[in-house]
Structure 1
């Protein structure tokens, strides 16, 4: 408990990464401890998501790590966009990124990154009863597997 009270004296550290936009609205991006290890480097998936969200066409995104024999883990990014324009993926990153119609979310708005990670790693997963639209997982499974080919 003391770890959560020492970073900001008098305040509770939630370990959530947040972004404050120009209008003062706060968006919770990810856990600060949600990192992947790629070739010995610790990369923040939340920081990668923040970069993707800065593009004017991106309305939502998720980045998560997938097991890789050579590098340990590699990041995969999924983005929801307002419009698909030619060359958009090249503007965002060069590999392991796909445009999707929607991300799996709970009714409270939490993105199910753990479920997507399990799909990518070929692990069993349980569909939470709080998922907003379970059919999204069917479409995402095909996209994720295509990225891993």
Structure 2
């Protein structure tokens, strides 16, 4: 629920306000209430360029989300977690919401990886709930069908990889950018805040191959 004093809106990439249920960039109309971030230390211009120039008259949060019919705000993820599949912009947060809804899945991460034909394609990495045993192919088909029904065929999700754990920082942030870099074959810098580097090392072959070890 929006705190009084904040005029929050959902914009598409062209700055058009979106209706209920449509996901887009979460922005806040200026001026904002006292106590909000006024600038970046020692770099006013960077603050302006990063947060105020994208949609003039609005503060850009960098998050994506949507309002439901009752004006509840749902934050789906960061706008830089939007992938481009054959010209269609898709939020990995929306895809993750569908994947996570599966009763066998404890947590998941969806990343967009490079594809020569479509630009990017989504790949889902899932951790199963404790004690769950499932045929990987059956789980993949169930999740792929759910994404097709909820998001549409344009999502083009075909790969669902079961992993023992997902790499996170000590504060609990999923290291999606690091996973994406490894999957794309790029050199990556491992964040110093990583909680357990062994987790990342364990799934690196799966990120590179795109297939489950099951």
Q: Same fold (TM over 0.5)?
A: yes
What does the per-residue CA deviation read over 1:37-85, in whole Å, with 9 as the maximum and x for residues that have no partner? Answer: 1111111111000111111111111111111111101111101111231
1:90 match = 141
What does the per-residue CA deviation read over 1:93-114, in whole Å, with 9 as the maximum and x for residues that have no partner? Answer: 2621101111100010000000
- Is 1:60 the equivalent of 2:123? no
- Displacement, 1:32? 3.7
**Residues 70 and 18 of structure 1, relative CA distance in 2, 3 Å threshold:** closer
State how far apart, in whole Å, the 2-side matches of 1:52 and 1:32 are. Answer: 19
2:195 match = 132
Residues 61-76 of structure 1 correspond to what in structure 2 (within 5 A)?
A: 61-76=108-123
Superposed CA RMSD in Å reads 2.8
**Residues 139 and 18 of structure 1, relative CA distance in 2, 3 Å threshold:** farther
- Displacement, 1:5? 2.1
* Higher Rg of the two aligned structures: 2
User: What SS does structure 1 have at the residue aligned with 2:125?
Assistant: strand
Residues 93-132 of structure 1 correspond to what in structure 2 (within 5 A)?
A: 93=144, 95-132=158-195
State how far apart, in whole Å, the 2-side matches of 1:105 and 1:62 are. Answer: 11
User: What SS does structure 1 have at the residue aligned with 2:196?
Assistant: coil
How many residues align structurally? 139
Q: Is the Cα contact below 8 Å between 1:32 and 1:46 reproduced in 2?
A: no
Structure 2 residue ranges without an equivalent (≥5): 1-25, 37-58, 67-73, 145-156
- Displacement, 1:33? 4.4
Structure 1 residue ranges without an equivalent (≥5): 20-26
State how far apart, in whole Å, the 1-side matches of 2:80 and 2:192 are. Answer: 26
